[in-house]
């Protein structure tokens, strides 16, 4: 496995950086990894490395670049959460989706020793979980995975646009997604043939964040196994 920082041209103007992790063999497919509110931090880079070790070309774009490039916040530092939420309030979601679409295009065109990477999907966490949902509604990504995505219940009108497989991993005790919001999501998507919802009892937001106080090994490993099986089925 190798890693590097690459530069991606924005669809409008400017460019932004991204962390790219490549497997040592021909990639199975590509994955756009979508950051939490904490930026492209150590955890997101490690997640990219893990996907690369599983055979995928994984990229994590810096979605805060218009606000402050190269944000890397520590989930265990309370003052850094305050900074994260300040950045979140200033973050323009539509621009973020456009940057993800640019990243999707970049990865599809990325050269390897045996040609283009082929299919590309997305996997997002927290803010990225919300954006992974929008990748399902607004992009042609081949498959999408949302971990504890926020505010999906407020954006279900877009669900009719979903044309590719989507997984939602929902934390039953998510402090940012209320039980009523979870019910709204499940009811709103239960008849959509492209959507699979997994709900994890007894865990909070961020249960898949390795090395953090929110991490819950059993739920995280189950979600990871389901995600990898899903990606292998729909991406390769």
pLDDT at 113: 53
Which pair of structure tokens corresponds to residue 10? 């924005």
Residue segments in the chain with a per-residue pLDDT below the cut of 50: none
Alpha carbons 118 and 10: distance in angstroms, whole number: 21
pLDDT at 118: 87
pLDDT at 117: 83
pLDDT at 111: 78
Q: Which of 78, 1, 2, 87 is nearest to 37 (CA)?
A: 87
Q: Are 57 and 20 in contact (CB under 8 A)?
A: yes
pLDDT at 236: 87
pLDDT at 235: 95
pLDDT at 174: 97
Taking the domains of the chain in order of start, what are their residue ranges?
Answer: 2-234
pLDDT at 28: 92
Q: Distances in Å between the alpha carbon of 28 and those of 10, 21, 76, 147? A: 26, 13, 34, 22
Alpha carbons 131 and 98: distance in angstroms, whole number: 11
Alpha carbons 175 and 30: distance in angstroms, whole number: 31
Active-site amino acid positions: 174, 205
Alpha carbons 174 and 110: distance in angstroms, whole number: 37
pLDDT at 115: 61
pLDDT at 93: 97
CATH topology for 2-234 is Rossmann fold (3.40.50)
Residues 162-182 pLDDT 10s: 999 999 999 999 999 999 999
pLDDT at 116: 72
pTM of the model: 0.96
Which pair of structure tokens corresponds to residue 46? 């490690």
């Amino acid at each position: 496995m190798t890693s590097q920082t690459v530069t991606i041209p924005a669809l409008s103007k400017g460019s932004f950086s991204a962390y790219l992790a490549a497997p040592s063999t021909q990639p199975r497919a590509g994955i756009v990894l979508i950051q939490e509110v904490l930026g492209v931090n150590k955890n997101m880079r490690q997640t990219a490395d893990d996907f690369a070790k599983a055979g995928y070309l994984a990229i994590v774009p810096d979605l805060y670049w218009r606000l402050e490039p190269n944000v890397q916040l520590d989930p265990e530092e309370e003052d850094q959460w305050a900074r994260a939420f300040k950045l979140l309030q200033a973050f323009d979601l539509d621009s973020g989706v456009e940057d993800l679409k640019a990243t999707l295009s970049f990865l599809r065109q990325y050269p390897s020793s045996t040609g283009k990477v082929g299919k590309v999907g997305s996997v997002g966490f927290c803010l990225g979980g919300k954006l992974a949902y929008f990748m399902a509604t607004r992009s042609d990504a081949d498959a999408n995975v949302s971990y504890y995505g926020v505010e999906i219940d407020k954006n279900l009108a877009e669900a009719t646009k979903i044309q590719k497989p989507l997984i939602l991993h929902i934390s039953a005790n998510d402090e940012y997604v209320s039980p009523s919001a979870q019910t709204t999501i499940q009811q709103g998507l239960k008849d959509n043939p492209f959507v699979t919802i997994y709900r994890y009892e007894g865990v909070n937001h961020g249960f898949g964040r390795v090395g953090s106080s929110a991490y819950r090994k059993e739920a995280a490993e189950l979600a990871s196994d389901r995600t990898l099986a899903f990606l292998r089925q729909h991406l390769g």
